[in-house]
Amino acid sequence: MAHYLWLILAFPFAGAIVLLLAGPRLSRAVAAVIGAGSIGLSAVAAIAVALEFSTARPNPTFYHQVLWNWFDVAGFSPSIALHLDALSLVFVLVITFVGFLIHLYSTEFMADDEDFSRFFACMNLFVGAMLVLVLADNLLLLYLGWEGVGLCSNLLIGFWYKNPANGYAARKAFIVTRVGDTAMMIGLFMLFQQFGTLHIQQIAEQAAQVWPVGSPVALTVALLLLGGAVGKSAQLPLQTWLPDAMAGPSPVSALIHAATMVTAGVYLITRMHVVFELAPVAQATVAVIGALTLLIAGCSALTQNDLKRVLAYSTISQIGYMFLALGLGAWSAGIFHFMIHAFFKALLFLGAGVVIQALHHEHDMTRMGGLRHKMPVVFWTFLIGSASLAALPLVTAGFYSKDQILWLSFAGERGSLGLYAAALVGAFITSVYTFRMVFITFFGESKTPIVHYPGSRMTLPLVVLAVLSLVGGFIELPHNLAQFTLFSNFLRPVLPDVVVKPNYDELEWIMQLVAAAVSLSGIYVAYVFYLKSPALVQSLERSGPAMALHRFWHAGWGFDALYDALLVRPYVFLANLNRRDVIDRFYTLLTDLAQSLHGLLAQTQNGVLRNYLTGIALGAAAILTLSILL
Amino acid sequence: MESGLLLAGILFMLGLISVLIRRNIIFMLISVEIMLNAAGLAFIVAGSHWAQPDGQVMFIFILTMAAAEVSVGLALILQIYHRLKTLDSDAANLMRG
């Protein structure tokens, strides 16, 4: 079955090509079948490969498939080759399966959109590019997928291109992530200069021999790769593009946040974990960036009124948890949280899409409310997703994945009290803003009439994802609850284990109780403030400092304004200064000269035969004279 | 020898000048014929000077070419007259750039 590996990639790309070439001529039903079906087939192929991979004896650590040689220049010959190990398998399964559910949902969500086939072409391409990224066996091919993902995000965020604001958001996402990509590209150049290859396995084997631990080159490379990851995963300081990326349709947000784009950075760091382990300073930076980001984004999420922006800041914050885990060396905990996050965040975005569509494209939560009884399926699934996001103890998957990170940030070898405190405060903020969102949206009195009820193709993905958000956590239980570690056992051949500080094991119970208490108290605070006595919020809002803080957080800690003042304005000023480009003037002169000469020569084409003859005769006389004289 | 080449040169220049100053296309065609004949005369004179047959071979070539040229030229002149109702070459400037 391993030689069918390429099929996983081929289906989404084939779907995208068919829809791009024949899209406008296809009926909506056919386009929907091709668009969602190609991802479905890809998911089936992925499951088949996964079954083969996990049941084969002796147990393989990876499958490798060379498709063809890309090019061969001066000894550098990257191949289009696929590498599937436990890590990429987890990503492939999440991308294809969650991607398929999102596609299925989109067939109904986008049913009335005029650019139906273009939407599915871009979505298929998005999934295909992400699959290239996670299956690539060398960093050049990975970079191809990396840029493909960036391109598709630009196409999809600006999907409703007739509104200039959407185009602006698309450009912002493209350019901000490109800042990170540039850093990553320099990192790749350095890796090639060091190893003479970009093959990931070869780099992993050679790195420990070439670099001592803490060598400055390893540190530089790791930091440059981190720059790329920070851009794609919307972490500090390049997080500003993600909230604006909400301009795209809701399924696009679900795909970007759950299965593609923002998880690319997590994948890159995990894939290059050898390099990061040789540069402890860079790894500590990853943890610190994660901790800071989860706090900053969490505070911003508290103040947003746009339903999708709350979720966007929530994603930034949850990816912060993943970065924190990666920085701690808790690789499998980070990937576990990625998987669970993909389930509940896709669920939340799709649920938000239903709500927004039902209320006639109303994004403002304060004008929603009272949807609990009118849309019970959406309410219950959204509640499950929110509970998972808030890490409601024992019953939700989010608890198991987040508890692991909390515990390791304290007890892990690289953990510290500061990181633990940040993660704990972040967990509290998460459950407050999550249930603030639930209470405002679904409880209270109804403020906007419902104009559209979701059909089965929209509710089915919600139910499936809700089930996964509940039971998905049981494949990896904390050590003190049961010795059941299916997920980390699966990843063990690829990713090293995290080392726990000695004599900390007895504390795990207390830590879990603390985490559970924090989560529950966050929900209670949200209940008090937003459901029981909303007057408290209003009195809080009337006080000056609170209002200023609210505005500051609402504006995303002023990062946009800072970048605007620091980078955008000076650049625009310089561009205005040089409006008529100095260097352009030379070339303008050149074209003007050529054009005037052309005008002169065109005068001689007057159609008078005798003039031509005179020209010929004079020319002949001149040539003869010259040949005689010289 | 010199007088023969001189005659050929004078004939050629006369032909060239009349091509340049005439406006009637038929006269231009005749002038081209005179230039061709002047060239032919130069070949004959040169051939007889060096006692080589090549000059006469070239003259027969020129004769043949002149016949072909006149037939094509006359056909073109007929077409021009048919279209423009005039033989003035300056009138045939419809294809100017």
Check pLDDT > 90 for residue A628. yes
CA–CA distance, A351 with A307 (Å, rounded to integer) = 11
Cα–Cα distances in Å, from A13 out to A7, A9, A80, A82, A126?
10, 7, 15, 15, 9
Are the Cβ atoms of B92 and A614 closer than 8 angstroms? no
Check pLDDT > 60 for residue B97. no
Residues of B with CB under 8 A from a CB of A: 16, 19-21, 23, 28, 89-90, 92-97
Q: Which residue of A has its CA nearest to B90?
A: A608
Residues of A with CB under 8 A from a CB of B: 602, 605-610, 613-614, 617
Contacts of A607 in chain B (CB under 8 A): 92-97
Segment B16-20 mean pLDDT: 89
CA-based nearest distance A615→chain B, Å: 10
Report residue A402 as tokens.
């987040």
CA-based nearest distance A617→chain B, Å: 8
CA-based nearest distance B9→chain A, Å: 13
**Nearest beta carbon to residue B96 from set A606, A610, A614:** A606
Using DSSP's 3-state secondary structure scheme, residue A83 falls into strand
CA–CA distance, A162 with A363 (Å, rounded to integer) = 19
Least confident of A305-319, A554-568, A582-596, B38-52: A554-568
Check pLDDT > 60 for residue A474. yes
Check pLDDT > 90 for residue A253. no
Predicted local confidence at residue A540, as pLDDT: 72
Are the Cβ atoms of B20 and A610 closer than 8 angstroms? yes
Contacts of A613 in chain B (CB under 8 A): 19-20
Predicted local confidence at residue B95, as pLDDT: 66
Predicted local confidence at residue B57, as pLDDT: 93
pLDDT in tens, A431-441: 888 988 888 88
Contacts of B95 in chain A (CB under 8 A): 607
pLDDT in tens, A512-532: 888 888 888 888 888 888 777
Are the Cβ atoms of A607 and B96 closer than 8 angstroms? yes
CA-based nearest distance B47→chain A, Å: 22
Torsion of CA A563, A569, A570, A572, to 10 degrees: 130
Maximum distance among all alpha carbons in chain B?
50
Are the Cβ atoms of B92 and A607 closer than 8 angstroms? yes
Are the Cβ atoms of B96 and A617 closer than 8 angstroms? no
Q: In which band, very low, low, confident or very high, does the pLDDT at B96 lie, cut at 50, 70 and 90?
A: low
CA-based nearest distance A628→chain B, Å: 16
pLDDT in tens, A60-72: 778 888 888 888 8
Check pLDDT > 90 for residue A611. no
Segment A249-264 mean pLDDT: 85
Are the Cβ atoms of B16 and A602 closer than 8 angstroms? no
**At A337, phi and psi to the nearest 5?**
-65, -35
Core vs surface per residue A563-587: b (16+ CB within 10 A) or e: beeeeeeeeeeeeeeeeeeeeeeee
Segment A121-139 mean pLDDT: 90
**Nearest beta carbon to residue A617 from set B20, B28, B97:** B20
Q: Which residue of A has its CA nearest to B13?
A: A617
Are the Cβ atoms of A605 and B90 closer than 8 angstroms? no
Q: Enter the DSSP assignment of A23.
A: G
Q: Enter the DSSP assignment of A606.
A: -
Of A18-27, A51-60, A368-377, B68-77, highest mean pLDDT: B68-77
Check pLDDT > 80 for residue A263. yes
Summarize chain A as % helix, strand, coil (round to 5): 75, 5, 20
Check pLDDT > 80 for residue A59. no
Cα A548 from chain centre: 31
Segment A183-200 mean pLDDT: 88
CA-based nearest distance B3→chain A, Å: 21
Beta-carbon contacts of residue A604 (< 8 Å; ≥ 6 apart) = A611, A615
Check pLDDT > 90 for residue B65. yes
Q: In which band, very low, low, confident or very high, does the pLDDT at A2 lie, cut at 50, 70 and 90?
A: low
CA–CA distance, A575 with A628 (Å, rounded to integer) = 60
Q: Which residue of B has its CA nearest to A606?
A: B96
CA–CA distance, A613 with B21 (Å, rounded to integer) = 10
Average pLDDT in chain A: 86
The H or E element containing residue A69 is strand A62-69
CA–CA distance, A220 with A163 (Å, rounded to integer) = 41
Contacts of A610 in chain B (CB under 8 A): 20-21, 23, 89-90
Are the Cβ atoms of A614 and B20 closer than 8 angstroms? yes
Q: Which residue of A has its CA nearest to B93?
A: A607
CA–CA distance, A301 with A293 (Å, rounded to integer) = 12
Return the number of CB contacts < 8 Å for A and B: 31
Instruction: Give the residue from B20, B87, B88 with the most A CB atoms within 10 Å of its CB, the best one to mutate.
Output: B20
Contacts of A609 in chain B (CB under 8 A): 28, 89-90, 92-93
CA-based nearest distance A173→chain B, Å: 52
Q: In which band, very low, low, confident or very high, does the pLDDT at A42 lie, cut at 50, 70 and 90?
A: very high
Are the Cβ atoms of B97 and A605 closer than 8 angstroms? yes
Are the Cβ atoms of A613 and B19 closer than 8 angstroms? yes
Are the Cβ atoms of A607 and B23 closer than 8 angstroms? no
Predicted local confidence at residue A472, as pLDDT: 80
Check pLDDT > 70 for residue A481. no
Residue pair A546/A540 in contact (Cβ under 8 Å)? The answer is yes
CA-based nearest distance A612→chain B, Å: 10
Torsion of CA A176, A181, A183, A185, to 10 degrees: -160
DSSP string, A235-276: -TTSTTHHHHGGGS-HHHHHIIIIISGGGHHHHHHHHTHHHH
**Nearest beta carbon to residue A607 from set B16, B23, B94:** B94
Are the Cβ atoms of B93 and A608 closer than 8 angstroms? yes
CA-based nearest distance B50→chain A, Å: 23
Q: Which residue of B has its CA nearest to A617?
A: B16
pLDDT in tens, A352-404: 888 888 888 878 877 877 777 788 888 899 899 998 888 888 788 888 888 88
Task: For the beta carbon of residue A228, count every other beta carbon within 10 angstroms.
Answer: 27
CA-based nearest distance A589→chain B, Å: 25
Are the Cβ atoms of A605 and B96 closer than 8 angstroms? yes
**Residue for token pair 């208490």:** A517
Check pLDDT > 90 for residue A607. no
